[in-house]
Amino acid sequence: MDSIQKNETFELDSLKCLRTEYFLNECDLCFSRCNFDALGLLNEKIKLFDKRCTQCADCVGVCPTHALKINSFDINNFIYNFINSNKNIIKERDDIPSFGMLNCTYLIILVINKPKLILEYDKEKNNFFYLQNIYKQTKNILKYFNYNFYIEFKKIDRKKDFKNFVNKNLFKSILKNKQKSFILNQIKPQIKDLLIKNLKKVSKGYEKTKLNIENSTLFFNKTIDKNRCTNCLDCVNLCPTNAIFQNSNKNEIVFNSFNCVGCHICNDICKEKALHNSDYIQIEDYINKKNKTLIKFFYK
């Protein structure tokens, strides 16, 4: 099976998928977002059933490792261009193929730059409850910094199919903004760095604040039971994003929350069950990409 699976516009990079990284991983976020069973397992490996796929893009935003994308629409470009525009309205199936391409990271960036935001969602897309979920997460995070924003959700009947969106609206937009987009592409930061840049704007004076991240899909933190850890390094060796690693002296296991995507492979692989999720994170650790020592070993 090829690592890149695709149809006309939709693409799955299976090498980025957590199930490929670790055989026993049970991530099914994209499966749960697809109403057509176009994403599933074949011989215990993730599979795009391309004939079932409608290329709706509803599943794209939920993937923590960005293994899914629409080739005709760069969501990172869209976010960056939008926050640098005078607009405050995003129309589903007009400006963006699907609000399913958004997630908590994108929404935080949007509302910090656009405190009054209007999201016109298509009634046929059924993304309202998904939007509500990431809206609640965004609100729960930004409340710690006393940052107020307002999102108006408007239900609209667009009566446009996805292919029409790609072939007409988007193509015209690409031609119109080709030169501008090229320049922006050269200078724009990575999306998580853009998130940090914006969080720093609203968290001044709140750097020591501890966030409750029990149900977060954005922030993650870890602890190690020092009485159980044997320094086997399974967690280090199997972490797909280098969020858990050894220090240069090889006597500490270190965690970096910025790199963590919440796959929890480390928890599962630990034979001694020494690794645990923490329900709290200090915001300065995340925005400063701070390394935290989970455990230190002393050798005689």
Among candidate residues 71, 100, 127, the one where a domain is terminated:
71
Same domain assignment for residues 91 and 154 = yes
Distances (CA, A) of 292 to 161, 172, 224, 277, 295: 48, 48, 11, 14, 9
CA distance 21 to 279: 25
Instruction: Output the pLDDT for position 129.
Output: 95
CA distance 32 to 24: 18
Which position has the token pair 């001044």?
A: 204
Same domain assignment for residues 6 and 45 = yes
CA distance 249 to 279: 29
CB 14 within 8 A of CB 3: yes
pLDDT category, 164, cuts 50, 70, 90? low
Same domain assignment for residues 67 and 78 = no
Instruction: Output the pLDDT for position 163.
Output: 55
Same domain assignment for residues 82 and 61 = no
Q: What angle do helix axes 75-83 and 178-187 make, rounded to 10 degrees?
A: 90
Q: How far is CA 90 from the centre of its chain?
A: 19
Largest CA distance in the chain: 72
Residue 127: burial class (beta carbons within 10 Å; 0-12, 13-18, 19+): buried
**Could you tell me where the DSSP H helices lie in the chain?**
18-21, 29-33, 75-83, 104-113, 128-142, 162-164, 171-176, 178-187, 191-202, 234-238, 265-269, 283-287
Same domain assignment for residues 197 and 220 = no
Same domain assignment for residues 109 and 171 = yes
Same domain assignment for residues 60 and 107 = no
Assigned token pair, 277: 């999720």
Quote the percentage of the chain above a pLDDT of 70. Answer: 89
Same domain assignment for residues 181 and 111 = yes
Q: pLDDT, tens digit, for every residue of 193-208? A: 999 999 999 999 998 9
Among candidate residues 168, 183, 206, the one where a domain is terminated:
206
Range of the domain at 99: 73-206
Same domain assignment for residues 77 and 195 = yes
Query: Would the pTM of this model clear 0.95, i.e. be above it?
Result: no
Same domain assignment for residues 142 and 225 = no
Same domain assignment for residues 240 and 152 = no
- Mean pLDDT, rounded, for 163-169: 53
Q: What is the CATH number of the domain that holds 242?
A: 3.30.70.20
Same domain assignment for residues 52 and 79 = no
Looking at the structure of the chain, the number of domains it has is 3
Q: pLDDT, tens digit, for every residue of 4-27? A: 998 888 999 999 999 887 877 889
- Mean of pLDDT over the chain: 89
CB 67 within 8 A of CB 36: no
Distances (CA, A) of 268 to 26, 92, 210, 264: 10, 38, 26, 7
Among candidate residues 19, 50, 71, the one where a domain is terminated:
71
